[in-house]
Amino acid sequence: MSEAAQVQLVGAGPGPVDLMTLRAVRAVESAQALLYDALIGDEAIALAPPGCVRIQTGKRAGKPSMHQDEINRLMLRLARKGLRVVRLKGGDPSVFGRVGEESAFLREHGVSVEVVPGVTAACAAAAQFGFPLTHRGEARRVVFTTARLEAGTLSGDWSAAGDPEATLAVYMGGEVAQALCERMIAAGRAPRTPAVAVEQAGGANARIYHGTLETLGDRLSSQGGPVVIVVGEVAAQARELAVDVAQETFARAALTA
């Protein structure tokens, strides 16, 4: 095995290439083997140089994908060949990106690991639609979680969902939104607590659904892309349309010139 065997676990952010970090872009540009998830956009994949081995691993909820142990073994095999291996993940690798499992496996087999952070979907949604995740006097904490059904009910402990000073960012919750909202109300959250769901956060086709815990579930029946649900008083500040950051920056510059 090459003494320099290394894998980079890289966050691609929420989609657009200009929301990738410089280190993430440079990692992909120098990759000799690129293993990417299903939600990674074509522009990010195109950053890889000619001759780079490109392998889609899947990893989208409810869709066909490689098993995690297959991905682990594939990364190990490519690294042992001396290739510069980049595992490209949507969002941030440390937020529901299995970075802990993959890092532990590779290190146990003598491969060094570098983690390159990225913009996670909840942060992208907040920036794009103009609301904060924390706010003095309203939201002192942020909880990142996922939601899935087991035997028709939400799995896991949702007691923390009743905290009125917490913002909850729920990943992969679009298909279980109704059950999710009901569970939060049962945990003690007020039914009229503001809530938004953002589909394809950070992307050009991002879409926001406004509501409360009482109403949001009924408004998500037509969503088709990846969704992050944000619950808490901060959600009341969300705009109807996405913020065009570049346009607003230009406008401010023109006013102060």
Options 18, 37, 42, 92, the catalytic residue = 37
- Residues contacting residue 91 through CB under 8 Å, at least 6 positions apart: 11, 12, 13, 14, 97, 118, 119, 120, 121
Strands 6-11 and 166-171: unpaired
37 flagged as catalytic: yes
218 flagged as catalytic: no
Contact present, 35 and 86 (Cβ < 8 Å):
yes
Give the torsion through C-alpha atoms of 135, 136, 137, 143, to 10 deg: 50
Q: Residue 149 CB: number of other CB atoms within 10 A?
A: 12
Options 18, 59, 63, 92, the catalytic residue = 59
Continuous segment of H or E residues that includes residue 128: helix 121-128
- Residues contacting residue 98 through CB under 8 Å, at least 6 positions apart: 68
Note the Cα 190 to chain centre separation in Å: 27
What phi-psi label fits residue 232: left (phi over 0), alpha (psi between -120 and 50 degrees) or beta?
left
Catalytic positions, written as ranges: 37, 59
